[in-house]
Amino acid sequence: YVEDPDRDNIRLGRHVMLLSGAPDRWSDADKKRIFRMENHKWDGRPPALTPEGEKAFERFLRAWVPNYRKQFIDRKPRVYEVSSEWEKSENGSRTTADIVRCYEIASKVIHELDPEGIVCGVGYGPTEDHTMDFLRHGLGKYIDALTVHPYYNPDPVEPNGIIQTVKAARETIFKATGKYLPIINTECGYATYDQKPAEAVQMKHLVRLQSIYAGEGWKSLSLFCRIDYRLQPGFGYVYNLSYGRSHTESGMDYPGPKTSPKPLYPAMSALCWFLTNSRPCGDIPFLGKTCWGYVFKHVPDGKVNLSLWDWGRTRDEAQKIDLRVGRAEVEV
């Protein structure tokens, strides 16, 4: 990429995991020089960088970051995710400190060449062992936000303590880093395993879960992935009706030629319609034993939205609540 004279014309579709660690196209000599590998042999897992490899990584960043900034000059924030959940230290030739060192390099270059850019990682649960290991190794010094993949899937999640877990995550991260890092949800899902009755459960579960994340101040609503895929059917929000075709034949991730939305699709569309460009103003914890809710204020026009739900009852048994809203009319 660095040596390509046309590199600035290469269209960059989105933010990228900068530390992908896939050197399979390099010669054995280059691998030995750039990567620190056990037994001088690359075993397919991401290896650690040598001092010369660190310089190569920095050269790549100095070529790539200006291109990304130029192509998305109007996008704010511009997000640079250095690594995600598969970039672990589960490799004898690479430690957590090695990965944090790559964050240190990336953070310096990105903040120099794109001062408005946001450096983030690492794509696990907000307080799970991998995340805390990275924070103990000083990751907090080099990131502006923490990306998370919060799969909380017992349904309902509320009596299992999810609200308390999300609230506590903010303080746990503060204790580990000395600062309140913004949390960006980049992956979230609930598998139906192709069981038709689970479609409505998936819809309600994820709408409630995303409402909790948004209400507690997390910075995005995100689903994984947009379609069902073969290894874990049920995560997506459109159906895959052609399991026989490969993703290379279809030209996309894993969709067949015919797809249609699940119930989750219009539900999440409605949620995003109401909450995009809104700020959370606090929870509403006094509605009832199985009721919860949040207050959101739409920034452009000041309009207030309430997100309220009862996770313990069916529609026919809905719990009645008395909520004083301070105005004559509300839209439900």
Q: Is the peptide bond before 157 cis (omega within 30 degrees of 0)?
A: no
Q: What's the rounded mean pLDDT across residues 190-213? A: 90
Q: What is the mean pLDDT of the chain?
A: 85
Q: What is the dihedral of CA 38, 41, 42, 47, to 10 degrees?
A: 30
Pairwise CA distance, residues 139 & 160, whole Å: 30
Q: Yes or no: say if 307 and 294 are a contact pair by the CB < 8 Å rule.
A: yes
> Is residue 151 over pLDDT 50?
yes
Output the pLDDT for position 264. Answer: 92
Question: 133: helix, coil or strand?
Answer: helix
Question: 266: helix, coil or strand?
Answer: helix
Pairwise CA distance, residues 312 & 292, whole Å: 11
What pLDDT, in 10s, does the model give residues 77-108?
A: 899 999 888 787 765 678 899 999 999 999 99
Q: Strand ranges (DSSP E) for the chain?
A: 35-36, 48-49, 78-81, 117-124, 145-148, 183-185, 278-283, 291-298, 304-310
Output the pLDDT for position 2. Answer: 87
> Is residue 251 over pLDDT 50?
no
Amino acid at 226: R
Among 38, 74, 13, 106, which residue's Cα sits nearest to residue 122?
106
Beta-bridge mates of residue 124: 148
What pLDDT, in 10s, does the model give residues 263-299?
A: 999 999 999 999 989 999 999 998 888 899 999 999 9
Strands 291-298 and 304-310, how do they pair?
Answer: antiparallel
For residues 114 and 332, the model is more confident at 114
197 CA to centre of own chain = 27
Strands 35-36 and 48-49, how do they pair?
Answer: antiparallel
Query: Which alpha helices (H) appear in 72-150, and where do they start and end?
Result: 96-113, 129-136
| Residue 149: both structure tokens together | 């993949």
Beta-bridge mates of residue 79: 118
The sign of the torsion formed by the CA atoms of 230, 236, 241, 246 equals negative
For residues 135 and 85, the model is more confident at 135
Beta-bridge mates of residue 280: 296
